Structure 1
Amino acid sequence: MSDTMQPPFAILFVDDDEMSRNHFARAIGADYSVHVASGADEAMAVLGRHGSEIAVMVTDFRMPGRDGDDLLRQVAQEYPQIMRILVTAYADKDMLLQTVNTGDIFRILEKPLRTDMVREVLQLAIARYTERETRQQRLLAMDETLAFLAHELNTPLATISLFARSVENDVGEQYDPERQRAIGQAASSMLNNAQYCLTLISSFWATVHKSGGQQSASGAGAREVRATRLIATLLDTYPFVASQRDWIKVDVAGDFVVHAMPNCVALVLSSLLSNALRALDGTDAPSLQLEVVASPEPEIRICDNGPGIAPEIKARLLQDPITTYGGAGGHGMGMIFCNRIMQSFGGCLRIDSTYGAGTTVTMSFPGFNGRMHASDNEVPSGSQTA
């Protein structure tokens, strides 16, 4: 391995015998970063400095002071993500059973250690560690998604509540034609917001049941979902009002596969589309363009020719709860949740806006997800109406 490349995972080896520590470091150091410790207390000190990078701990059982059993139990409590392997030269059945039960051990290795066996067990441990990390990232993304979904439902439902109270207060009064028109518009807005909620819930539920619960941690066997497919599905199901659908065009410069929980990405897309349509309300000749770009990095861009965002608001949009739609039930958390969902799988949001001249929000996807460009007969390049 070259000096400029760092091994992807680190191993902590704990043994009071210096020769054993040196031998382990030489034998394994070519494949992993190796940290060594001569006892339990030193091992915890090493974890305090490097715990975030250590994937596996291999510890001897018999050591002066605190033994391996005590160390394993402490690590299981304080660093549960680390895979734990016990090394012992003793065939004490009761001791081994107690240690396995309290320390949640991945494997037990017998002394003297054989390099080929150690490498094989470490590979298995790293695979398990990676699987756990992937699962944890998905759980975090799902937590963010659920919070985001709660927000997305709260805003339109708050609008429905406001209009419902207004209608309720006016019951029994004599209405002139202007008032009747206002009530009709309120009822229409209530219906549109309710339809948005139902569409969002239905889309999310269907996506989770079709793909989310069936995908393994490695993604094997998962159905590939392209960015253009997510956009097409959104445009087919979104509850557009009046001529809103006619404002939208899709420009595909290069398609790519969305590996990062497509159901979460669909929710972000839905929220950003809703924001853009709301910004265009009242704009002369409103235009909204959805751009799909695969190179140099996979991106989806939502570009509108609305009024733009004031610089002082734009600078805080992804950090602070700011909204210009408080009267409609908004509380400014949508962009924060969208960004958190994108960040949960290594992506991000970028906001470019010129006050008075429109806004572009870019969904940037992590490069390691890979790209799949569409062939000419699948998705035509250039500007097109979706």
Structure 2
Amino acid sequence: MNDIRQTQPTILYVDDEELARKYFARAVGAEYEILLAQSSDEAIATLQQDSDRVAVLITDFRMPGRDGGDLLRQVAQQYPHIVRILVTAYADIGVLLQTVNSGEVFRILEKPLRPASVRETLQMAIERYRERATQNQQLMAIDETLAFLAHELNTPLAAITLNASSIENRGDVKHDLPVEITEAARSMRERAQYCIAVVSSFRRSVHNGHRKLAGGNVRSEITAHGLITALLDTYPFAAAQRSWVHVEIIVDFPVVTQANCVALVLSSLLSNALRALADVPSPSVRFTVIAEPSPAIRICDNGPGIPPEIKARLLTDPITTHAKSGGNGLGLVLCHRVMQSCGGGLQIESTPGVGTTVMLDFPHIKGQTYGSC
């Protein structure tokens, strides 16, 4: 972080007027390293060589050829670490709103430029750049830690999967192993594959989230539907299990806090439901997304249900109905705590012989509007 603060910031100023470029360089050249360009194409050419050291891009809007708005969009996509400022002498409200709302510009400066205003805006822009740079270093460290953990976990899990498959195949082909051993090996393989998928999915979702944060891209949002789709795309279903699962989107909503942890909760609940349906003649799991009266995801199954005396303790005590298959009862307790940390909660409704419904409640965001899919 000290290196970030000690390096003199570099500003790229883009304007087709030579006098405007000279005026800007004279006004702030003593405080910053200034690079000048007279067009959008020249600015991109400069960035292709020196993008790593450019902290702030300031561009005029009205220029021959590609205007400043087009340049801002390209820089936002290709060089998201650069803080972007638009200069304009025109009261083009539509253009200004578009650039601000799309996240392509940090601030807007009006012509004629006033040195005091430029210095103040640049100070804020450099502080934003330094915050991003520091955050990027922290996110890189987290990504590297997750990569190490994924490797350390996936290596033994892959070995378990391979060995369990060998035992399965021997039992299925040679029939010289007790059925219990073959079934135990199959269960071991499926659980190991599930763990590998969860670890990989979590690492990928965190990494993608870090990329968005590092780029300052606020346009993309993670929705409840998106989380469920990602889960169903990566979950290691066995045999016909995928055909048991149905999704109903009544009204979608953004998941704005701890989306990665919510994804793990959904994975754990799907695993529970699939285990409960193992001996059901016509198994069914349904995800339902609603936004009113408050945002929620429902997971319903038509399994055997949960006895009332067990259901009453599921969210507070480590109790399980799947001890024989490796359950320890901590899953629902932890899922409940995760949802509470998100400002929501977890509810369970179950009728023995009919099925179970788990409701994930999310906080209602003030001013947020929801759209149906």
| TM-score where L is the length of structure 1 | 0.50
Partner SS, residue 365 of structure 2: helix
- What residue number does 2:249 align with? 252
Question: What amino acid sits opposite 2:196 in the alignment?
Answer: L
Deviation at 1:369, TM superposition (A): 6.4
CA distance in 1, matches of 2:296, 2:279: 29
**Residues 72-100 of structure 1, C-alpha deviations (whole Å, 9 max, x = no match):** xxxxxxxxxxxxxxxxxxxxxxxxxxxxx
The answer on whether the counterparts of 1:265 and 1:342 sit within 8 Å (CA) in structure 2 is yes
Distance 2:313 2:366 in 1: 29
CA drift at 1:187 = 3.3
Give, in angstroms, the shift of residue 221 of structure 1. Answer: 2.4
Question: Which one-letter code corresponds to 1:209 in the other structure?
Answer: H
1:350 aligns with 2:347: yes
Question: Retained in 2: the 8 A contact 1:298–1:371?
Answer: no
Distance 1:344 1:287 in 2: 30
Aligned to 2:207: 209
> Letter of the aligned partner of 1:366 in structure 2?
P
Pairing 1:234–2:231 present: yes
* Cα root mean square deviation, aligned: 3.7
* SS at structure 2 position matched to 1:368: coil
Which residue identity is paired with 1:305?
N
CA separation of 1:195 and 1:369: change in aligned 2, threshold 3 A: farther
Question: Deviations 1:265-314 (Å, cap 9, x if unpaired)?
Answer: 10000000000111111012111111000111100000001011100110
Could you tell me how far apart the structure 1 residues matched to 2:302 and 2:256 are? Answer: 30
Note if contact 1:259-1:369 (Cα within 8 Å) is conserved in structure 2: no
Aligned to 2:267: 270
Q: 1:355 to 1:313 in 2, by over 3 A?
A: same
| 1:130-279 paired onto structure 2 within 5 Å | 177=175, 179=177, 182-212=180-210, 215=213, 221=218, 223-279=220-276
Q: CA deviation at 1:177?
A: 3.1
Q: Match of 2:288, SS? A: strand
Superposition deviation, residue 193 in structure 1: 1.5
TM-fit CA distance, 1:223 = 2.8
Q: 1:19-38 alignment to 2 at 5 Å?
A: none
Partner in structure 2 of residue 313 of structure 1? 310
Cα displacement string for residues 179-217 of structure 1 (whole angstroms, at most 9, x for unaligned residues): 36554443332322221111111111111122147638x
Distance in 2, Cα, partners of 1:227 & 1:310: 30
Aligned-partner residue type, residue 211 of structure 1: G
Q: Give SS of 2:303's match.
A: coil
Change (3 A) 1:199 1:227: same
SS at match of 2:177: helix
Please tell me whether the aligned partners of residues 300 and 363 of structure 1 are also in contact (alpha carbons under 8 angstroms): yes
- Matches of residues 272-287 of structure 1 in structure 2 within 5 Å? 272-287=269-284
1:299 partnered with 2:296: yes
Distance in structure 2 (CA, Å) of the matches to 1:343 and 1:190: 32
- Counterpart residue type for residue 301 of structure 1: R
Amino acid at match of 1:254: V
Q: Residue 202 of structure 1 aligns to a residue in which SS?
A: helix
Residues paired across the two proteins, number: 220
Verify the 8 A CA contact 1:257 1:371 in the aligned structure 2. Answer: no
> 1:23-102, aligned counterparts within 5 Å?
none
261 and 223 in structure 1: CA distance in 2 versus 1, 3 angstrom threshold: farther
- Write the distance in 2 (CA, Å) between the matches of 1:202 and 1:309: 31
Contact 1:255 1:372 in 2 (8 A): no
C-alpha distance in 1 between matches for 2:315 and 2:211: 30
CA separation of 1:204 and 1:346: change in aligned 2, threshold 3 A? same
User: Where do 5+ consecutive residues of structure 1 fail to align?
Assistant: 1-134, 136-141, 380-386
Residues in 1 aligned to 2:321 and 2:222: alpha-carbon distance in whole angstroms: 34
Q: 1:312 to 1:271 in 2, by over 3 A?
A: same
Call closer, same or farther: CA 1:275–1:344 in 2, change over 3 Å. same
Corresponding position of 1:325: 322
Seen in structure 2, the aligned counterparts of structure 1 residues 213 and 347 have a Cα distance that, compared at 3 Å, is farther
Distance in 2 of aligned mates of 1:259 and 1:222: 13
Contact 1:287 1:305 in 2 (8 A): yes
In 2, Cα distance between equivalents of 1:213 and 1:340: 27
- In 1, the alpha carbon distance for the partners of 2:357 and 2:309 equals 16
Opposite residue 194 of structure 1, the aligned amino acid is A
SS in 2 for 1:268: helix
Any idea what SS the aligned residue of 2:316 has? coil
Residues 92-146 of structure 1: CA deviation (Å, up to 9, x unaligned): xxxxxxxxxxxxxxxxxxxxxxxxxxxxxxxxxxxxxxxxxxx9xxxxxx9xxx9
Q: Secondary structure at the match of 2:251?
A: coil
- Paired residue type of 1:234: L
Aligned: 1:363 with 2:329? no
Residues 238 and 370 from structure 1, CA distance in 2 versus in 1: closer, same or farther, beyond 3 angstroms?
farther
